[in-house]
Amino acid sequence: EDKVVQSPLSLVVHEGDTVTLNCSYEVTNFRSLLWYKQEKKAPTFLFMLTSSGIEKKSGRLSSILDKKELFSILNITATQTGDSAIYLCAVRGGSNYKLTFGKGTLLTVNP
Amino acid sequence: GAVVSQHPSWVICKSGTSVKIECRSLDFQATTMFWYRQFPKQSLMLMATSNEGSKATYEQGVEKDKFLINHASLTLSTLTVTSAHPEDSSFYICSGTGGQLISYEQYFGPGTRLTVT
């Protein structure tokens, strides 16, 4: 059974701090790893990673994948209160488009 | 990015009644749509995968006779919760992929919050 484990489950920081969110996975026939941000509604897409060692960056967010060690990290620098959300990691494997989600990391950024 | 809409955004129904949730891809043809359920403080759990014109594939533990999925067109999929019970109260989210989307990207609808009293 495919498995995605995120850590920590929750994190409280102050504005301006840098955070690192972790995602490890076990999946057959790995295709890609995706990060999503979920506020009060449905998740919004952040990154899709398919190759090891290539950092993807969008503003203050960046992510990298290690396919040998089966994990990915999501970094957020200079955090803002608007970064407060649940960050979900999902892995696609197998022969279809099915995603397996981790439980998410609840990030709270205090002013 | 591609846009997926859901209707209704929230619904309250009485135990024993049926509720239909619509999921529409507004600017792409969703050859594949997914239905997820999310309980409070839990992650998204895939319920079923539907390909346009085919029967849905349900995940283990999801009752196909209770959660009826129809994907009759490339822009519309529906989930009907039949004989709803309070334990079916949850946040239901659909996502779609296909058409001209970058391979394997899924775009999520805004979700439907179902409360069964």
Residue A59 has a CB neighbour count (10 Å cut-off) of 8
- Closest-approach residue (CA) in chain B for A98: B49
Cα-based distances in Å from A111 to A23, A59, A78, B8, B53: 26, 20, 12, 35, 50
- Closest chain B C-alpha to A18 CA, distance in angstroms: 24
Q: How confident is the model at residue B102 (pLDDT cuts 50, 70, 90)?
A: low
Task: Enumerate the β-bridge partners of residue A36.
Answer: A45, A88
Q: How confident is the model at residue B104 (pLDDT cuts 50, 70, 90)?
A: low
Residue A61: alpha-carbon gap to chain centroid = 10
Query: Is the Cβ pair B93, A88 closer than 8 Å?
Result: no
Q: How confident is the model at residue B99 (pLDDT cuts 50, 70, 90)?
A: low
Tokens of A44: 């919004």
Question: Is B43 part of the contact surface with chain A (CB cutoff 8 Å)?
Answer: yes
**Best-predicted range by mean pLDDT among B21-30, B40-49, B81-90?**
B81-90
Q: Which of A18, A16, A36, A35 is nearest to A80 (CA)?
A: A16
A2 CB neighbours in chain B (<8 A) are none
Tokens of A104: 């998410």
pLDDT at res. A2 = 83
Q: What is the DSSP string of A60-75?
A: TEEEEEETTTTEEEEE
pLDDT digits (tens, 9 = 90+) for B11-32: 999 999 999 999 999 988 888 8
- Mean pLDDT score, A20-27: 96
Is residue A101 within 8 A of residue B44, CB to CB? The reply is: yes
Question: Is B107 part of the contact surface with chain A (CB cutoff 8 Å)?
Answer: yes
pLDDT at res. B101 = 54
Tokens of B73: 């067109």
Q: What is the largest CA-CA distance in chain B?
A: 41
Q: How confident is the model at residue A36 (pLDDT cuts 50, 70, 90)?
A: very high
How many residues are listed for chain B in this entry?
117
What is the rounded CA–CA span in Å between residue A69 and residue A92? 17
